[in-house]
């Protein structure tokens, strides 16, 4: 009897110990979040940092497998920091890239092919044809967030003052209207300014390539891997630009953004960036005095400059499944409205391939400000991924050369022929 009681007591003690120790409870510090795989993500401030962190926090809260640690870099040095870190093997699991990709990433095999690591056929099918800019040999190497294109800014009050009740629809109309305004105001109002010939020199690259696209020009022959900026059609473009300065319609150096705000520049072409960076939207002093329009059309009716912002996964990551899970969520159709509400750009999806809910979310953003989104989407509908793809090659030499040589032609320091010939020489040497 005593022996049986001892055994029973021992069993009770064992059961009590198990009940007290048991499996970890949700409140004992061993929650699911502590068991998640952590990955690193380096991003540029495409939207404000607080909004980026809010999106990452939302993902971390809903993911059962992954926790993302976000680092936000600045535009000035961030791209190069990412590139050097990834190339050295110490880079983040996921990171910002241009939607047109970069040959340094491609040649170094530094990007994980997303279509072989979690992106299914249905994921790829929902994109517009612009997705080709993020592909190499049929594989997807970056997931686009948003693209940015060129549109026309015009002062409705200035145009009306000189007898125009609508923006120009062609290059000829643009020049005629600009000359009427510049001449009629005796130079106190510039009818049109080319962005980049003002106080933002970098933008000459965007303007130049936009006009090339509109005139049916390529910048590279991908078969021969030669630069093709010096062609008869390209000379037409540069001569057209130069004529504005030769005829006194435009003046080098005058700020497009400031001049537009003050009513001293009637029209200019640029990305939607100034809508927020310059505070045009919501500026009470400008209210009712300005508007946007699709680009005036050149001979080829091209859509003009196009670039884009995307996220890629490091091919050296040890956590590919987790990184792809995050990237797919971060750039998903469900999140597209979050980006578009803060960044006026071109959404990357074919709306007809999305679910009614996904499509409705994006169209709801457009419907809230049709006067802004109408011109952006109309110009975007005419764009192709071609220049984004061609821009991968000889990028640094091309963009440095264009800033210097296009401006030299506009100021008369070089002839149109000399500038474009030299541009191809420099780019081909780099290639």
* pLDDT number for residue 26: 34
Is residue 144 over pLDDT 70?
yes
- Give 181-188's long-range contacts (Cβ < 8 A, gap of 24+): 181/266, 182/248, 182/249, 182/250, 183/248, 183/249, 187/248, 187/251, 188/264
| Least confident residue range of 30-44, 136-150, 398-412 | 30-44
User: What is the percent of the chain where pLDDT is above 70?
Assistant: 92
Residue among 207, 137, 192 nearest 162 (CA)? 192
CA separation for the pair 362, 10 (Å, rounded) = 66
What strand order describes the sheet that includes 290-293?
267-270, 151-155, 290-293
* pLDDT number for residue 290: 98
**Tens digit of pLDDT for each residue in 189-237?**
999 999 999 999 999 999 999 999 999 999 999 999 999 999 999 999 9
**Tens digit of pLDDT for each residue in 98-125?**
999 999 999 999 999 999 999 999 999 9
Mean pLDDT, range 39-60, rounded to an integer: 97
CB 95 within 8 A of CB 81: no
| pLDDT band at residue 301 using 50, 70 and 90 as cut-offs | confident
CA separation for the pair 176, 296 (Å, rounded) = 12
**Tens digit of pLDDT for each residue in 224-265?**
999 999 999 999 999 999 999 999 999 999 999 999 999 999
312: its two tokens = 């890629």
Burial 85-98, CB ≥16 within 10 A → b, else e: bbeeeebbbbbbbb
* pLDDT number for residue 9: 41
CA dihedral over 341, 355, 385, 217, signed as positive or negative: negative
CA separation for the pair 207, 197 (Å, rounded) = 9
Q: Is 118 left (phi over 0), alpha (psi -120 to 50) or beta?
A: left
Mean pLDDT, range 40-55, rounded to an integer: 96
* pLDDT number for residue 8: 42
* pLDDT number for residue 34: 65
Mean pLDDT, range 283-295, rounded to an integer: 96
Average pLDDT over all residues of the chain: 92
Reduced to 3 states (helix: H, G, I; strand: E, B; else coil), residue 311 is strand
| pLDDT band at residue 325 using 50, 70 and 90 as cut-offs | very high
Is residue 11 over pLDDT 80?
no
CA separation for the pair 373, 352 (Å, rounded) = 18
Is residue 278 over pLDDT 70?
yes
Is residue 25 over pLDDT 60?
no
Mean pLDDT, range 122-143, rounded to an integer: 96
* 343 contact partners, CB below 8 Å, separation of at least 6: 46, 47, 146, 276
Mean pLDDT, range 275-291, rounded to an integer: 95
Is residue 300 over pLDDT 90?
no
Largest CA distance in the chain: 118
**Tens digit of pLDDT for each residue in 389-420?**
999 999 999 999 999 999 999 999 999 999 99
| pLDDT band at residue 30 using 50, 70 and 90 as cut-offs | very low
Cut 0.85: pTM above it: yes
Beta bridge partners of 69: 40
Burial 347-378, CB ≥16 within 10 A → b, else e: bbbebeebeeebbebbeebbeeeeebbebbbe
* pLDDT number for residue 392: 93
Q: For residue 229, give the DSSP letter.
A: -
Is residue 5 over pLDDT 50?
no
The number of angstroms, rounded, from the C-alpha of 335 to the middle of its chain's C-alpha atoms is 16
Query: What does the CA dihedral 240, 147, 275, 182 come to, rounded to 10 degrees?
Result: 0
Q: How many residues does the structure list for the chain?
A: 431
The number of angstroms, rounded, from the C-alpha of 184 to the middle of its chain's C-alpha atoms is 38
Reduced to 3 states (helix: H, G, I; strand: E, B; else coil), residue 306 is strand
CA separation for the pair 123, 321 (Å, rounded) = 16
| pLDDT band at residue 382 using 50, 70 and 90 as cut-offs | very high
Query: In the structure, how many helices (H) and strands (E) does the chain have?
Result: 19, 12
239: its two tokens = 């001569």
| pLDDT band at residue 24 using 50, 70 and 90 as cut-offs | very low
* pLDDT number for residue 303: 84
Q: What structural domains and CATH numbers belong to the chain?
A: 36-148+306-380 (3.40.190.10), 151-304+394-430 (3.40.190.10)
């Amino acid at each position: 009897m005593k022996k049986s009681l001892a055994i029973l007591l021992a069993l009770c003690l064992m059961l009590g110990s198990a009940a007290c120790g048991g499996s970890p409870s949700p409140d004992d510090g061993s929650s699911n979040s502590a068991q998640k795989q952590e990955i690193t993500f380096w991003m540029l401030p495409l939207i404000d940092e607080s909004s980026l962190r809010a999106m990452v926090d939302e993902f971390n809260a809903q993911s059962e497998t992954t926790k993302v640690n976000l680092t936000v870099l600045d535009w000035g040095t961030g791209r190069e920091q990412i590139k050097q870190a990834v190339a050295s093997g110490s880079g983040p699991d996921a990171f910002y890239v241009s939607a047109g990709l970069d040959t340094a990433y491609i040649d170094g095999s530094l990007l994980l092919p997303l279509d072989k690591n979690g992106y299914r056929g249905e994921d790829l099918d929902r994109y517009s044809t612009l997705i080709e800019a993020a592909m190499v040999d049929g594989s997807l190497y970056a997931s686009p967030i948003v693209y940015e294109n060129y549109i026309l800014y015009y002062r409705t009050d200035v145009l009306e003052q000189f007898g125009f009740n609508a923006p120009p629809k062609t290059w000829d109309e643009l020049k005629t209207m600009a000359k009427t305004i510049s001449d009629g105001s005796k130079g106190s109002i510039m009818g049109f300014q080319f962005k980049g010939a003002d106080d933002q020199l970098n933008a000459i690259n965007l303007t130049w390539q936009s006009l090339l696209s509109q005139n049916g020009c390529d910048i590279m022959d991908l078969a021969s891997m030669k630069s093709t900026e010096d062609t008869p059609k390209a000379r037409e473009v540069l001569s057209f630009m130069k004529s504005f300065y030769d005829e006194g319609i435009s003046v080098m150096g005058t700020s497009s953004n400031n001049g537009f705000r003050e009513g001293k520049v009637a029209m200019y072409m640029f990305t939607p960036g100034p809508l927020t960076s310059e505070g045009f939207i919501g500026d009470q002093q400008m209210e009712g005095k300005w508007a946007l329009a699709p680009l005036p059309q050149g001979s080829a009716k091209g859509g003009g400059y196009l670039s884009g912002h995307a996220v890629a996964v490091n091919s050296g990551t040890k956590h590919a499944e987790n990184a792809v899970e995050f990237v797919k969520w971060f750039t998903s159709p469900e999140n597209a409205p979050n980006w578009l509400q803060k960044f006026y750009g071109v959404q990357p999806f074919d709306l007809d391939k999305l679910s009614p809910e996904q499509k409705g979310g994006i169209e709801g953003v457009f419907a809230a400000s049709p006067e802004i989104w109408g011109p952006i989407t109309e110009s975007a509908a005419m764009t192709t991924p071609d220049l984004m793809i061609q821009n991968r090659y000889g990028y640094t030499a091309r963009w440095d050369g264009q800033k210097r040589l296009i401006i030299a032609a506009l100021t008369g320091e070089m002839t149109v022929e000399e500038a474009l010939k030299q541009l191809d020489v420099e780019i081909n040497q780099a290639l």
